[in-house]
């Protein structure tokens, strides 16, 4: 079953861990092409995602380092899009 969720509704939302602590904000989405559709495969949480969205130039000018987490789409509970939650421990997320 395929579900559709507007990404603009999720962008900038805080992501919460299993223990209800805030992990960071959803700042970037990565998608892959599947046939004629685009499917979101990963979400970047934290400053690194914001820097990806703003572009490499800003990162070089400001000197920010990439810090962030990457969650696969299946590691997020989006049943309440206003309060996304992790379905796994933070330690299972990839780090940038």
Pick the CATH number of 7-95 from 2.30.30.240, 1.10.300.10, 2.40.37.10, 2.30.30.90: 2.30.30.240
What is the SS3 assignment for 7?
Answer: helix
**Which H or E element spans position 32?**
strand 22-34
Which one-letter DSSP state was computed for residue 36? T
Q: Is the confidence at residue 66, as pLDDT, over 80?
A: no
pLDDT tens string 8-26:
999 999 999 999 999 999 9
d(CA 26, CA 56): 18
Q: Provide the whole-model pTM.
A: 0.77
What is the predicted pLDDT for the residue at 57? 56
Domain definitions of the chain by residue range: 7-95
d(CA 36, CA 39): 10
């Amino acid at each position: 079953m395929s579900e559709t969720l507007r990404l603009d509704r999720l962008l900038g939302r805080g992501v919460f861990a299993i223990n209800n602590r805030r992990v960071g904000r959803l700042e970037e989405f990565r998608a892959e092409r599947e046939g004629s559709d685009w499917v979101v495969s990963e979400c970047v949480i934290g400053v690194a995602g914001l820097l990806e969205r703003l572009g490499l130039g800003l990162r070089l000018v400001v000197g920010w380092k990439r810090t962030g987490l990457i969650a696969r789409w299946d590691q997020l509970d989006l049943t309440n899009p206003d309060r996304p939650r992790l379905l796994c421990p933070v330690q299972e997320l990839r780090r940038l």
